[in-house]
Amino acid sequence: MNAEFKPVAPPDLSDRDRAISRVADAVHRVNEAIQRAVAAGVSVELVRVSRHHDGAGAWGDQMIPLVRETASPGAA
């Protein structure tokens, strides 16, 4: 059997809703990556480094990850 995959037409979303969806998808991927990093033995902290403003009252925090090795047992 030959299954043919076709792209699904995106729903009719406003630019605003599409932007919100992109942020939600990106945060989901970041959360998954953090879980994988923790499983690999590192600690991850997200730190706000700036705030982006549009000049009309909307703003968003911009983040960077701080990644730390887990201290091995018995380390000073």
Confidence of residue 25 (pLDDT cuts 50, 70, 90): very high
Name the CA dihedral angle for 56, 60, 62, 67, rounded to a multiple of 10 degrees.
170
- pLDDT computed for residue 5 by the predictor: 74
Chain centroid to CA 53: how far? 20
Question: CA 60 to CA 23: how far, in whole Å?
Answer: 11
Phi, psi of 15 (to 5 degrees): -55, -40
Q: What is the mean pLDDT of residues 25-52?
A: 96
Is 70:43 a contact under the CB 8 Å cutoff? yes
Instruction: Using the predicted structure, report yes or no on whether residue 13 has a pLDDT greater than 70.
Output: yes
User: Has residue 74 got a pLDDT over 70?
Assistant: no
